[in-house]
Amino acid sequence: MTSPSSAHSPVHPASHGHPPFKAHFQTFDDLADGAEGPARLAALRAELARLGFDGYVIPRADAHQNEYVPACEERLAYLTGFTGSAGTCVVLPTEAALFVDGRYTLQAPAQVDETAFTVVPLSQTRPDKWIEDHLPRGARLGFDPWRTTIDGRERLVKAVAAAGGILAPLEADPFDPIWPDRPAPPREPVRLLDLSVAGEDTATKLRRVQEKLAEEKLDGVLVSDPHGAAWLFNMRGGDVAHTPLPLAWCIVPREGLPDLFLEALKLSHEVRAALAGHARLHGVGDLDRVLAAFAKGENGNGKGRRIRVDQATAPVRLATLIETSGGIADKGADPISLIKASKNPAEIAGMRAAHVRDGAALVRFLAWFDREAPTGKLTEIDAVEALETFRRATGCLTDISFPTIAGAGENGAIVHYRVTRKTNRAIHPGELFLLDSGAQYPDGTTDITRTLAVGTPTQDMRRHYTLVLKGHLALTRAVFPKGITGAQLDPLARQFLWENGLDFDHGTGHGVGAGLSVHEGPARISQLGHLALAAGMILSNEPGFYRTGAYGIRIENLILVEDRPVEAGERPCFGFSTLTLVPYDRRLIDLRLLTGTERAQVDAYHAEVRATLAPLVDEGSVDWLAGATAPL
């Protein structure tokens, strides 16, 4: 058992599940307590009754619809005990339903008290339909206008009308009096990106956004997604976990300086001076006043200004303010989101560098894991902490990009499983270990999943793994003409599972930010991915298979959309370049199920991994890497 103090020495958690180091960026404590759910539900109902409401809709969201939200915004987790990254609870006088998607159908029932909350998979019904069927006639249902989008309100309006109820915004937060130890709002300092990392200065980015506003005949855009403001002003922060975001609002006019809204305590004198060269700076408390004045201003035809509000992130509260101030809330996509999705050369170079660094850390981890896991002494938490330690040893880790999913055996079948001290279990020989993790570095963001055999896998494990791998490889090989969407590519990753009567209940791929969110819109590869892919977009490629109560399998690389000229072709085409550099588990590949093309593809990938990473790892890891990447 050796110390992790050297960048080239192996890491070994202590025996019996007590590692000698502390993970910096992930907690294994239970983030919420489902046992408190019934009492908190009763307190919420009492507060709603005091405010004159019969029910309330609680989304898992903050005012920006961020995936990761500050601790003070975790209303859903506080109420129910459910800690997933997406969900909605509808509370009525005598019943309460928690709606989750396919990632959380196993996790949610394990976390909440089902005597108080009914867990409803979205595949069964949606919240608006459930409200239509369950809201008592004449009941007054409240919603949070700061945390409900325009589209979300429209669905509620239809459902409540069909039920014969009354829908009304609830401006007062009913959680304030029932959450006595609520954390304070974050105020982490803002930092600025070096141009060598950002690749484009704010003035140039602003011109591109304003040209798009002019093209769409808009007077301005309300930037409600903090990722957009972070990209536009080349700034980063630490207001939410695992994504380097400063929470901010911005109003970008078609001409002239934007208005940027940030808490003043987050800005040093140097950062304030730099930002003031590109925007008028305000405190967040000034947002209502400035937005109302901007909406009211004349645009030359006697009407208020037409302001784009993003339908995915803008709260009803601000869209309503624009309209009551005489402006026009133009519902649509924030133009920044699509511009940001196609990375520039500096961002791509940074992402490649981050993946090389991350790949070396993963190889060192996997060599260690292969030595230690068969002993049966490792736990899921040991593996998570060891992986983070190897990443920290690069000297560049700034955070993990999401809580590591480390599921041994049956826990691997829980798609977004998060190990806690209560659920932590030993990793046993003869089972699979699903490890989905990612890192934030100053120059890029990573996200990788590998499914690992511990000891000798069964034939079913190898068959299912290989079917998943075949779909993963097929998507990687894809060449497609301009205009093709993620929805059209999604079946490539599922085809071999479908042929065997199998499937998985999540998208095949999500967009990834460059040093920003590991889950970035608007591009994705899924049945709902209707945006045409474009060069410079970075997405995940992660098909899977999950056998409840037994094991989970997922294989994930990040892939970059690139121009791919086709000889004698008549249309411009794209293909994918793989950023992730980590071996697949050869022990789980059933060679009888692979074609010659697929074998050659795996061998070529492994040769690239070996050539790139061998100079960057210690001697023991080099030996492991040689075996792990040997030709099939």
Give pLDDT, residue 389. Answer: 96
CB of 319 closer than 8 Å to CB of 150: yes
Q: What is the pLDDT of residues 468-478, one digit of tens each?
A: 999 999 999 99
CB of 213 closer than 8 Å to CB of 335: yes
Q: What is the pLDDT of residues 170-192, one digit of tens each?
A: 999 999 999 999 999 999 999 99
List strand residue ranges (DSSP E) for 6-115, in order.
55-59, 88-91, 96-100
Q: Does position 10 have pLDDT exceeding 60, yes or no?
A: no
Q: What is the pLDDT of residues 247-288, one digit of tens each?
A: 999 999 999 999 999 999 999 999 999 999 999 999 999 999
Q: Does position 422 have pLDDT exceeding 60, yes or no?
A: yes
Give pLDDT, residue 86. Answer: 92
Q: What is the pLDDT of residues 429-439, one digit of tens each?
A: 999 999 999 99
Mean pLDDT of 38-47: 97
Give pLDDT, residue 3. Answer: 28
Give domain 191-337's CATH number out of 3.40.350.10, 1.10.10.10, 1.10.8.50, 3.40.718.10: 3.40.350.10
What residue spans in the chain does CATH classification 3.90.230.10 cover?
345-621
- Taking CA 337 as the corner, what is the angle to CA 336 and CA 343, rounded to the nearest 5 degrees? 95
Cα gap 290→311, rounded to integer Å: 21
- Residues 6 or more apart whose Cβ sits within 8 Å of residue 429: 373, 374, 376, 454, 455, 456
Cα gap 524→506, rounded to integer Å: 12
CA distances (Å), 341 to each of 336, 414, 601, in order? Answer: 8, 29, 28
Question: To the nearest 5 percent, what fractions of the chain are helix, strand and coil?
Answer: 40, 20, 40
CATH 3.60.15.10 for the 34-169 domain, yes or no = no
Q: Does position 5 have pLDDT exceeding 60, yes or no?
A: no
Give pLDDT, residue 302. Answer: 60
Backbone angles phi, psi at 418, to 5 degrees: -125, 115
Token digits of residue 595:
């074609």
Give pLDDT, residue 102. Answer: 85
Token digits of residue 476:
């990687």
Q: What is the pLDDT of residues 74-84, one digit of tens each?
A: 999 999 999 98
Q: What is the pLDDT of residues 510-547, one digit of tens each?
A: 999 999 999 999 999 999 999 999 999 999 999 999 99
Q: What is the DSSP letter of 190?
A: P
- Residues 6 or more apart whose Cβ sits within 8 Å of residue 256: none
Q: What is the pLDDT of residues 334-372, one digit of tens each?
A: 999 999 999 999 999 999 999 999 999 999 999 999 999
Q: Assign 20 a pLDDT band (cuts: 50, 70, 90).
A: very low
Give pLDDT, residue 298. Answer: 67
Residue type, 280: R
Q: What is the pLDDT of residues 221-236, one digit of tens each?
A: 999 999 999 999 999 9
Q: What is the pLDDT of residues 552-604, one digit of tens each?
A: 999 999 999 999 999 988 999 999 999 999 999 999 999 999 999 999 999 99
Q: Assign 106 a pLDDT band (cuts: 50, 70, 90).
A: confident
How much is the pTM? 0.91
Give pLDDT, residue 12. Answer: 39
Token digits of residue 451:
């499914």
Token digits of residue 565:
């000229």
Cα gap 274→532, rounded to integer Å: 36
Give pLDDT, residue 376. Answer: 93
Helices 345-372 and 619-628, interaxial angle, to 10°? 90
Second-level CATH architecture of 345-621: Alpha-Beta Complex (3.90)
**Lowest-confidence region among 30-39, 151-160, 256-265:** 30-39
Mean pLDDT of 137-145: 97
* Helix runs in 342-410, H state only: 345-372, 380-392
What residue spans in the chain does CATH classification 3.40.350.10 cover?
34-169, 191-337
Helices 150-163 and 127-134, interaxial angle, to 10°? 20
